Structures are given as C-alpha cells and as structure tokens.
Amino acid sequence: MDRSLPTGLIISGGVVAAVFLAGMVSPFITYVPAADVDYSRILQSPSWEFFLGTDTQGRGVGIRLVKGVEAFFLPGLFAASIATVIGALAGAIAGYARGWVRSTVIGTLQLIDTLPRLVFIILVCTIMEPTIYLIAFFAGLLFIPAIATPIRRRVETLGSEDYILAHIAHGFRPVRILLYHILWLQCRPMLIRQASYVFAYVLFVETALSYLGDYGVQEPIPSWGNMIAQARELPPGSVPWPWVSAAVAVIFTISAFLAFGNLLARRDESEAR
C-alpha cells in the first residue's frame, strides 16, 4: 500500500497547521489597536517594516491578520466540538436504541435540521446580545443533524455485522461497542470531515457578520471580516492592501479546511478497506 501523502493533503494540511499555530500564538502577542494608529503611514505598500502594507489608519495589516485569527479560532473549535460530540452520540443512540428513545432522538434531529442555519443565527443575534461564542454555540447545534444522521445509518448497518454480534455474544458492553468499535474505528473519518466543515462554517459566519458590522467583531478589534470591510472606505485607485490579504486568507483557509477534512477522511477510509 502506498503510504505517501497526496499533494493536496500536504498543502491543505499546511494551511490548517498555520491557522492552528496562529490561533495558539496570537493571544500571547501584545497588540493595542489604538497605539498602532499612525496617520502618517496610511495605505503604505508592503515593505520590510510592514510586510503586508498598512490600512486606512496606518495600522500594520500583517499583525492585524494574525490577531484576527483569534476572532474565529476558539469559537470554531468550540462549535466543532459541540457538533461532533453531540452529533456522534445522538447518531449512535438513534441507531442502536429502539422504541420511544429512537423516535425522540430522530424527531429532534429532524426538527433541528429544518432550521436554516445562517438565518437562524442572525435571528438569534437580533434577539439576544450577540457574541462570537453565542454564534459558535448555535452553529454547533445546527450542525448536529448533519453529523448524527450518517452516524445513525452507519450504526444501523454495522449493528448486524458478524464481528459486532460476536462482541455482543462475548459480553462486551453496548457503550464500549458504540464508542470504540463503531464510532472510533468505523466512523472516525466521517467525524473528522464534519468537524472541519463546522470550523470552516464558523469562520464564514464570523467573517460575514463582522463585514456587515452589526453582529460580528467590531473595530478596532481585528477580524478578517472588518478588515475586508475597509474596501468600502477606500478612495478609487487606492492600493488594495487593507482588504485583499484578509480576503485571500478567508478563501484559502475555508478551502483548506474543507479539502483537508475530505482528503484525510478519504485516506482513512481507503486504509480501513
């Protein structure tokens, strides 16, 4: 079996690793937005001092790009954890249980799945005090059916396999069979793929709301969304440095997480066969 990594997995994995590194390091970088303002260096092109140029207030785009990862990194992990853990457990219970327990879990999942994700999140932000963790919490909840439904079908299929029946006959507890032999050994690629989708979705939502300016991260705190929003303030013919770097970062990061989840899951599935 060829153990070499596909080029796409290496590239997307490199972007994912860079985002995780920035997310872990950025909280320890001292940055005071007000102290970074200098109107004498507005809209400078990239240089040794400012490798991505400066914005409309003379602030370094590079440092704001790195600090902007904080806006979605932990919330993205939070949402992915909620969706993956609860979705896996709900799917396992729905696939293994019978009677009213199964009906209740499936009915709840179907109810959640009918809610339009982005519209519902905006509605929640309108009713409640919007914070990025509130957004991440509901994003995680709304993704539970997307994880639980394929897990349920997988559990139903594997429940009649000979090796699962053999484990039951030898007295293995249902919890061990579900959590280890089915979820961990058989459903891990699916969970990895869906977790990466949820993280990318939180990045998309946070960027979109921060761009709109009403519910997301507000200036002067850096966010890739409010950095892109500076494009609306630039005079015609101005350099694009204040927003183009953040726009490229959003596109590459979302694409990388989606590709990484897909490619890693496919590799695990092919090795399992």
Q: Where are the domains of the chain?
A: 7-25+47-272
E strand intervals along 93-154: none
Homologous superfamily (CATH) for 7-25+47-272: MetI-like (1.10.3720.10)
pLDDT for 172 equals: 67
H or E element that contains 262: helix 241-272
pLDDT for 164 equals: 63
pLDDT for 4 equals: 62
Give residues with Cβ within 8 angstroms of 78, minimum separation 6: 133, 136, 137, 140
pLDDT < 50 positions in the chain: 1
- What CA–CA distance (Å, rounded) separates 80 from 180? 20
Both structure tokens of 111: 């109810």
Give residues with Cβ within 8 angstroms of 75, minimum separation 6: 132, 133, 135, 136, 202, 206
Question: 54 has which bridge partners?
Answer: 60
pLDDT for 168 equals: 60
Give residues with Cβ within 8 angstroms of 54, minimum separation 6: 41, 42, 43, 44, 60, 61, 241, 242
- What CA–CA distance (Å, rounded) separates 64 from 219? 11
- What CA–CA distance (Å, rounded) separates 269 from 187? 9
pLDDT for 160 equals: 65
Going by C-alpha positions, the residue among 190, 196, 195 that lies closest to residue 266 is: 190
pLDDT for 237 equals: 72
Supply φ then ψ for residue 248, to 5 degrees: -65, -40
pLDDT for 236 equals: 75
- What CA–CA distance (Å, rounded) separates 107 from 127? 26
- What CA–CA distance (Å, rounded) separates 182 from 161? 11
What pTM value is reported for the model? Answer: 0.87
Map residue 6 onto helix, strand or coil.
coil
